């Protein structure tokens, strides 16, 4: 069967691309490159404009003639030589970006469909975690759409389709929710990457030991937690309605941001009158920053510091490319009211509404500290630093266990439903068999 010259040319071009990327990925990355070039050009213009303003201020009204004092402008006059240069760069960049996008859009239909890979999924997850709100807002093909998946493939919310995909489905449903910049495939480790540790997946372990049927959420972690929470609430309603067996119980297991997402979904499902919370029996949190993560608070402090001086103010915009999902981690926002009406980069105040753990649901919290118990004169100091500041490297113990200086914000985990993993970091909560064994002990009780 003869092939068209366009199809042949497309295959030649595809062969030169990195093997794990799809043509739509190249299109999305090209869009980001265009936007990044425009952003860097705009930053340089603002820095130069700030310098102009600083010099012109010494000359009073005479100096004002050489700057553009229009509010919101860079200070560089658009019709001056410098302004024309910046305008020319932006114009050429937009033209080139538009041309590349048009060409790639035309090639997408010619590309053969190919399966995704762990490397591609990791790349997409990282991009969505950092830039996910921008990707969605600009209709970038790199933006991830929320889905429930099994072995990396999306599940269709239909009884017959689910029965075919999950022939061994039981009435015990387990939904695993990944964290920021991650994806559903990263719940499973591979012994080839960690030769000293066997392959492990908490979901498969609980399926084998306790008869759960695990499904895995895949979502854009750069969106607000409350936005993802609303989508998850609706998706779980569809899942239980289409489940091929009568659902006896539903358990949500969230790692890091995934735990915040679970709390948000439960609260919004109750407001929407969904039926699935009546089947929810257990919520399990692994290293969830219920009261925020220090690294995001440091990022906010840097933003504020750079924004104080006119010369450094443009550089604050570099830090402010981080997504809404990341800034939600400053204090652990889970509801729309926690952030709506307030600038994401304006205030360090914790304006969250108090949201207790859901009544009638058994809730469990796993925290971790990188510090091992031991002896020595400095051990008490190391342990104190490990608990209050370092925690698992990203989330302090108090935040992971829901403890807060304000009693109204404390999450009331029963003492027997709290467990601290010693000598373990944030990511190891996904992979260590000790964590899996603790989950089996908790979830195996009636």
- Region 74-83: mean pLDDT is 50
Helix 433-443 / helix 202-210 crossing angle, nearest 10 deg: 40
Give the residue from 223, 224, 242 showing the smallest Cα distance to 234. Answer: 242
DSSP code string of 1-15? ----HHHHHHHHHHH
Q: Is the model's pLDDT at 219 over the cut of 70?
A: yes
Burial 366-388 (b: 16+ CB within 10 A, else e): bbbbbbeeeeeeeeeebbeebbe
Please state, in angstroms and rounded to a whole number, the distance separating the CA atoms of residues 322 and 310. 22
Contact 280, 250 (CB under 8 A): yes
Token pair 């970091």 in the structure block, residue? 425
Give the residue from 289, 302, 298 showing the smallest Cα distance to 263. Answer: 289
Which segment of 176-185, 244-253, 324-333 scores lowest on mean pLDDT? Answer: 324-333
pLDDT band at residue 94, thresholds of 50, 70 and 90? low
More confident residue, 242 or 353: 242
Please state, in angstroms and rounded to a whole number, the distance separating the CA atoms of residues 43 and 62. 26
| SS3 track for 73-84 | CCCCCCCCHHHH
Mean predicted lDDT score pLDDT of the chain: 78
Partners of 153 in beta bridges: 150
- Region 170-198: mean pLDDT is 82
pLDDT band at residue 204, thresholds of 50, 70 and 90? very high
pLDDT band at residue 10, thresholds of 50, 70 and 90? very low
Contact 326, 130 (CB under 8 A): yes
Burial 76-104 (b: 16+ CB within 10 A, else e): bbeeeeebeebeebeeebeeebeebeeeb
Q: Is the model's pLDDT at 333 over the cut of 80?
A: yes
Please state, in angstroms and rounded to a whole number, the distance separating the CA atoms of residues 71 and 248. 61
- Region 193-221: mean pLDDT is 87
- Most confident range (mean pLDDT) of 45-49, 126-130, 177-181, 294-298 is 177-181
More confident residue, 350 or 74: 350
Give the residue from 258, 338, 328, 324 showing the smallest Cα distance to 297. Answer: 328
Q: Is the model's pLDDT at 263 over the cut of 80?
A: yes
The 8-class DSSP code of residue 173 comes to: E
- Region 311-338: mean pLDDT is 77
Burial group, residue 296, by CB count within 10 angstroms (0-12, 13-18, 19+) = buried
pLDDT recorded at residue 79: 47
Contact 439, 214 (CB under 8 A): no
Report percent pLDDT > 90 for the chain: 47
Contact 121, 154 (CB under 8 A): no
Q: Is the model's pLDDT at 55 over the cut of 70?
A: no
pLDDT band at residue 52, thresholds of 50, 70 and 90? very low
Contact 175, 280 (CB under 8 A): no
Please state, in angstroms and rounded to a whole number, the distance separating the CA atoms of residues 158 and 152. 18
pLDDT digits (tens, 9 = 90+) for 369-412: 987 655 555 545 555 555 555 788 889 999 999 999 999 899 99
Among left, alpha and beta (phi > 0; psi -120 to 50; other), residue 140 is beta
């Amino acid at each position: 069967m003869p092939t068209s010259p366009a199809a042949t040319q497309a295959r030649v071009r595809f062969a030169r691309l990195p093997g794990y990327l799809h043509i739509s990925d190249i299109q999305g990355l090209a869009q980001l490159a265009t936007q990044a070039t425009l952003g860097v050009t705009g930053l340089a213009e603002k820095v130069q404009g700030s310098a102009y303003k600083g010099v012109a201020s010494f000359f009073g009204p005479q100096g004002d003639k050489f700057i553009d004092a229009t509010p919101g402008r860079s200070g560089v006059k658009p019709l001056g030589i410098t302004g024309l240069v910046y305008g020319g760069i932006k114009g050429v960049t937009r033209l080139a970006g538009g041309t590349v996008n048009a060409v790639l859009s035309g090639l997408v239909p010619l590309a053969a469909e190919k399966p995704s890979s762990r490397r591609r999924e990791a790349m997409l997850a990282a991009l969505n975690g950092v830039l996910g709100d921008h990707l969605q807002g600009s209709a970038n093909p790199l933006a991830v759409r929320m889905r429930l998946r099994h072995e990396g493939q999306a599940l269709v919310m239909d009884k017959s389709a689910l029965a075919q995909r999950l022939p061994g489905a039981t009435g015990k449903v387990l939904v695993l929710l990944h964290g920021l910049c991650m994806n559903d495939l990263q719940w499973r480790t591979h012994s080839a990457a960690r030769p000293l540790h066997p392959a492990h997946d908490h979901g498969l372990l609980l399926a084998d030991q306790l008869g759960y049927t695990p499904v895995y959420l895949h979502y854009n972690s750069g969106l607000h937690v409350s936005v993802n929470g609303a989508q998850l609430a609706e998706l779980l309603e569809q899942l239980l309605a289409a489940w091929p067996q009568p659902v006896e119980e539903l358990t949500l297991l969230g790692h890091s941001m995934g735990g915040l997402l679970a709390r948000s979904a439960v609260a919004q499902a109750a407001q929407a009158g969904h039926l699935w919370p009546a089947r929810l029996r257990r919520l399990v949190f692994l290293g969830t920053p219920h009261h925020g993560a220090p690294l995001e608070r440091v990022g906010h402090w840097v933003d504020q510091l750079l924004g104080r001086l006119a010369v450094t103010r443009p550089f604050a915009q570099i830090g402010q490319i981080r997504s809404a999902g990341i800034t939600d981690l400053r204090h652990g926002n889970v509801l729309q009211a926690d952030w709506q009406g307030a600038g994401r980069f304006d205030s360090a105040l914790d304006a969250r509404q108090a949201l207790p753990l859901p009544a009638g649901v058994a809730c469990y919290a796993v925290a971790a500290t990188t510090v091992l118990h031991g002896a020595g004169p400095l051990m008490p100091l190391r342990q104190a630093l490990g608990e209050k500041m370092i925690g698992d490297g990203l989330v302090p113990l108090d935040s992971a266990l829901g403890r807060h200086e304000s009693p109204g914000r404390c999450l009331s985990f029963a003492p027997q439903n709290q467990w601290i993993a010693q000598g373990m970091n944030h990511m190891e909560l996904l992979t260590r068999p000790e964590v899996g064994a603790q989950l089996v002990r908790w979830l195996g009780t009636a």
